[in-house]
Amino acid sequence: MLGGIQAVTKIGVTSIPPIYTPYIDIHFLNIINIHKAKTIMEAISISLSLLLAIATTIILKQLISSLLHARLPLPPGTMGWPYIGETLQLYSQNPNIFFSSKVKRYGSIFKTQVLGCKCVMMASPDAAKAVLLTNAHLFKPTFPSSKERMIGKGAIFFHQGHYHANLRKLLLRAFSPDSIKQIVSHIDSIALSSLKSWEPRPLITTFHEMKTYAFNVALLSIFGKDEVSYGDDLKRCFYTLERGYNSLPINVPGTLFHAAMRARKKLAAILAEIISLRRDRKREDSNLLASFMSDAEGLSDEQIADNVIGVIFAARDTTASVLTWILKFLAQNPTVLHAVTEEQEAIMRSGEGKGLSWEDTRKMTVTTRVIQETMRVASILSFTFREAIQDVEFQGYRIPKGWKVLPLFRNIHHSPENFTDPDKFDPSRFEVAPKPNTFFPFGSGVHSCPGNELAKLEMLVLVHHLATKYRWCMMGPQDGIQYGPFALPQNGLPIKIFLKE
């Protein structure tokens, strides 16, 4: 007989005993008998018998699957208030507190409800690997419906299969080292211009200024050097959009979500105008927007707009958050700052005033480790969203179809089993590669961030000019952290900045 057929999709468990495989044998016998039939009526009769046996097999499989599945428990945990769930507990405090209290009480896998979604959270490296890599086909990328509405349902984040693969190909090509090395000089100019604008002010809010810098780099990577006249309007819309990003999806006047959706509508109108101008110009361009607009890709204007908004959203706040933490950690760790400054001054001397090149950024090994350790300690992305595309069994628990599944990067990054003294800022730990599946600054698998090389490049460029030309000191509380949606130093890290003499 044939081997057993799994009645429930499982991860890391053996198959169910083959209690209905005799029916499969009947199918093969009937197929053989059809060829032996002496009359048409006899062949029809055998064919009907075959169809009936197949239908019986399918029904039995579904019945046994349902019966076995019904016996599997959901992961332990609490769901909180109806619809609201435990959203406020997660987003109003240090997420470490929420996650660690859950893990301590329920273990490394537990259920909860956030942003109107029923979720299973997973806090171990093996679980993250299973969801993002080895069994990625069982968990599609997804976000709460409110986020899909804000960014746009055509954005790459919400898809898999051919559509996702095609978009990812375009993004990887646009953000590959071969592509972004062509814009190093432009990013260098943006960094210098940004820092120059800080000089006359007695106090700046680091996160706000880093958002402006990251936003301008994102516009450069998407549109090229054109359409700068739309920058301010786009920036205002994105500021309103991000304020409502983690709000409850209550679309009535006066709510953050309502304001965000209005800003989303205006964003779409601005992008439609830019796309129309590009078509009228009929000029060959080599930026991401041109790739999206290529006739060969077959993307609608709505899909193009959704993906432009998605790329800007992904490129702006996350990069700005990491840069904000870098300034804080460097200010708090003079020895590390000294090592970074020495490295960057040596690169500046070797360049002889010619400006940064791609090759220069490849020499920034100390600074690169600072960026890696900042992303680990700060863990800007506490988790990522996936959705079970069918009922799945994991470690003896049932994950129902449609439930969100969240690998907890923050827990993995802060586990003493993965990183010695995990709360200590120590870039030297990255002199040795971390253990597999313990470091997820850009996600993992086919849905990992395709713009990670661009993000690292713009961080390296800005740190180069900060370390070689400026000093800074933090103002106000230095230990406080604010949340929503990303973990940030209190008040966005107010600093004073001074030109070096």
Name the binding residues for heme: 449
Q: Give first-to-last CA distance, the chain, whole Å.
A: 83
Question: What number of CA atoms fall less than 13 Å from residue 367's CA on the CB side?
Answer: 28
Burial class (CB in 10 A: 0-12, 13-18, 19+), 96: middle
Binding-site residue positions: 449
Question: What number of CA atoms fall less than 13 Å from residue 1's CA on the CB side?
Answer: 13
Helix (H), strand (E) at residue 11: strand 9-11
* 3-class SS of residue 492: helix
**111 has which bridge partners?**
77, 120
Tokens linked to 34 = 């059809």
Please state whether the peptide bond connecting residue 485 to the residue before it is cis, i.e. omega within 30 degrees of 0.
yes
Residue 225 near residue 186 (C-beta atoms within 8 A):
yes
Q: Which of 13, 1, 485 is nearest to 256 (CA)?
A: 485
Which residue do the tokens 């769930």 mark?
85
Tokens linked to 314 = 């992904």
Which residue do the tokens 């406080």 mark?
480
Q: Which of 440, 432, 321, 436 is nearest to 376 (CA)?
A: 440
Enumerate residues 6+ apart whose C-beta is below 8 A from 61. 5, 7, 20
Task: Give dist(CA 477, CA 494) in Å, integer.
Answer: 9
Tokens linked to 69 = 């599945």
Written as one string, the DSSP assignment of 194-244 is HHHHHTT-S-EEHHHHHHHHHHHHHHHHHHTT--GGGHHHHHHHHHHHHHT
Burial class (CB in 10 A: 0-12, 13-18, 19+), 87: buried
Tokens linked to 13 = 């468990």
Residue 489 near residue 480 (C-beta atoms within 8 A):
yes
Tokens linked to 326 = 């870098």
Residue 330 near residue 336 (C-beta atoms within 8 A):
yes
Q: What are phi and psi of 480, to 5 degrees?
A: -70, 150
Angle between helices 452-469 and 334-351 (to 10 degrees): 90
Q: Which of 102, 311, 123 is nearest to 221 (CA)?
A: 311
